[in-house]
Structure 1
Amino acid sequence: MKNRFFSLFFLALLAAGCGPEKPREAIPPLVTETRAFCQTVPLFQDYIAHTSANSTVKIYSQAAGKILSKHYTGGALVKEGDLLFNIDSRPYLADLQKAESLLEETSAKLKMAKEKAESYTQLIKDDIVSQLDYDQSLTDVLTLEAQAEQTRSDIVLSKLKVSWCSVRAPVTGFPGISNISTGTYVPVGGPDALVTLQQAVPMSLDFYIPEKEWSKIRSLMDEGAVRVQALSLKNGERIYEGTLAYINNQIDRKTGTIWLEATFPNEDLSMWPNEYFVARLFYGVAEHALLIPEEALVKTQRGDQIFVIKEDNTVELRTVTAKKRYREFALIDCGLQEGERVVLRGQINLSDGTKVAIKEEESLPLKNKGEGCPE
């Protein structure tokens, strides 16, 4: 009897344990939130660009002669006025000495001719010399003066030819490798250039923009200097300041782009020809722009959407307009208010009306990285 009682009691407990369970409350998804904030930021667009020499100078010999020495290394920087080649100047020095000696001789003859003409001026009044002799004395003075002037011009030309024997860099830049070796005779003007020099100061930055942006950039240039930055491709660790200098006069019909060129002072010579950069072209300022981290945007077929966190920690799915970007932030044109909470991470399991648990609030203030953002 006692065993039967315990058996019935055990069955009753077992039946109670197998009854329907109460539904457990769902655990809300864990998300990270941030807040929309306002700040004045510059507006810009980035393009892939490469540097090019501001000008390419082919240097030809202006004096004929034998190359005596070369004073540069191909590819190494030379500054304006640096000596590149020495050409044998002895023939031109001889011509210079000859012209200087001739000038001394002519000057001495001219002095005597002037003294003779002065004396004849008095003698003709006394009828001691004839009119013909007097006229001849004046002619001798004029002839010798012309010869002296011609000799002075020859001296100037000879000095110029002597200076041409020292071939110097006309601009600061990078010389190429020359095939002209020491001992080679070079004629005046070629046929081959002594060396080609790529100008480094200033440096040009070339890039292409879509043709739809042409009118906007053209208007900016009409208003004044357009600011351009060059950022190195290695995490933007080097930033250079320049200005837009040139817009090409035609659109490339194959690509639908137009070529632009910016100029950079490059006084420290840290930019080299054919180096790749990001060209950052500034076209305005957004006053009191509303920003959220771009990571908070959800890309859908309907456009950019975000999850806004309400006071009861449920989320509302909203479509926003965010056509512009500033670094890692999106500029929101409509669909959001300053200070509203937005899901930054954890959107994958969310839908409109889902209740969420907040992991943390992440504050992402802007940091100025050289864009010149006004406060």
Structure 2
Amino acid sequence: MKFIEINIINLYKKIIKKYYNNESFVLFKKPYENKIYFYSCSNNRKIKIKENFFLIGSFNHKNIIKIYTNEIYFIDIKKIIFSKKLITIPSSFLDISFSHLIYSYEYKKLLKKAIRFIKNNYFKKIVLSRIIKIPFQNFYLKKTFQKLIFSYPNSFISLWYDFSYGFWIGASPELLIKCNNKKLKTVALAGTISTLENKNKWTKKEIEEHKIVIEYITTFLKKYYSGILSIGKTKILNLGTIAHLETPINFSFFKKPNFYEILENIYPTPSICGYPKKKSLDFIQKYEGYNRNFYTGYFGPVDKINMELYLNLRCARIKMDKKEINLYAGSGITIHSNVDQEYLETENKIKNIFSKFIFN
């Protein structure tokens, strides 16, 4: 695989050309790194190496996108000053109060139903989400991407485009799996509080919710694979106005595994679905009321010996034909959940990403 450093102006030219040719592409920055990578896929399909691509999977496994590339372009953030030239999407933004966009009744009713199911021992935890739709006039993709990079250095920042699914942009805090040879790294990330209101006061609810994810991942690895398991110290991941509990988990395999098999079986984890998995999925599909599409799906770079995938969280879909932005957020529900608090959590998550969007 060939890595090529590129300047910011030439990168913008490539993005614009790919977009007008209806060709898939992705821009992304990994957590704590200072490089922005660019993958693009040509419609002429003249791809020499089929083992290097950016993988994007939907929540329901029905839609898979692979952006194959022969050359990976990158820019060093430390070397550049971002241009004032902006990629804009003209549309019809309406000045609507944010609180009016978030209609609570149906979502709260869903949360109450889930808690009843938990009390009846149907499942221990479930993650339920909602979507809000915001019309806009001028939305600045480039400037928003830039703001996400500098606002959330500890997140996976992405902007990708596919002709069938449009633009998606986001700042995900959660690694799904990072695999290399006989090594696997993942994290249990669950439990959310507002840093403005709670000042790192974690309740029994967040701790239990987080513990369910740890137990699911460690049980899965020990049950299906032989190797050495290492569980790191739980820490607090701060993301602006919200914070999560995060526990690193590492596994050293005695025999090199099939990473695609691991992905197929470990996903979706209780951090974005629930536990037990099948009952949680059944409930989501029956009652959540909308198609998550690529929200809570996974994405990341893949090559012959590496796979590094993140969950698609804190994201938005830019629907140019309908001239609207779709924003998503979810909350993990346990027996200790309070409906109003869970609703407020989704509101805080939406604001956490929406507050970085640049409009005119």
Asked if TM exceeds 0.5, the reply is no
Larger radius of gyration: 1
TM-score in terms of structure 2 length = 0.22
TM-score in terms of structure 1 length = 0.21
Q: Which has the higher contact order (CA 8 A, sep 6+)?
A: 1
